[in-house]
Amino acid sequence: MARRSPHDSEVSDDDPERQALRSAAELLARVLDSAIAIPGTQIRIGLDPLFGLVPGIGDAFASAVGSVILLIAARLRVPKIVLVRMGMNLLINGVVGMIPFAGDAFSVWFQSNRLNARLLAECAGPATARSTAGDWLAVGAVLLVCLSTVIGAMVLVLWLAGRIGQLIQ
């Protein structure tokens, strides 16, 4: 394989940095969604549903950690529409995850981080150009919307829990 000069407009898909970023995204997805096998079943869980067991902040923290895969995808120049889809996966997982216990079961089933790592692997071909400010602005907007929605849902759940607690007393 011929070596490319730093001035060539394309970078080989064999680029070690790109491979390392894809590997890091796959590892993070595995840790968050499927690192632990439940004995006697074919079910695997990761840290994401376990974080979700922490009332109030667990799902927001899991979404923030999962957003690292989205940042890697942006760095690898995944198309913006795929970045939006990845953000929606995070958003769905984070908002549904706010529902006590049922949301954690949903996280085990949905595995948003594995979905995002798969999207990244399918769409992160050879780089053709550097990331632009517009690319990073789009990613920032997706992350802001996703994390704001998850935090808003968290505040709503906590407020509802407080109201229910007042009614019970």
Give the per-residue pLDDT at 3. Answer: 42
pLDDT band at residue 119 under the 50/70/90 scheme: very high
Residue 121 clears pLDDT 70, i.e. is over it: yes
Lowest mean pLDDT across 38-42, 51-55, 114-118: 51-55
Please count the other Cβ atoms lying within 10 Å of the Cβ belonging to residue 98.
22
Q: Which amino acid is at 26?
A: E
Give the per-residue pLDDT at 145. Answer: 84
Contact 11, 4 (CB under 8 A): yes
Cα dihedral across residues 164, 167, 168, 169: positive or negative: positive
Higher per-residue pLDDT: 9 or 41: 41
Higher per-residue pLDDT: 55 or 3: 55
Q: What is the pLDDT of residues 17-51, one digit of tens each?
A: 889 999 999 999 999 999 999 999 999 999 999 99
Higher per-residue pLDDT: 80 or 118: 118
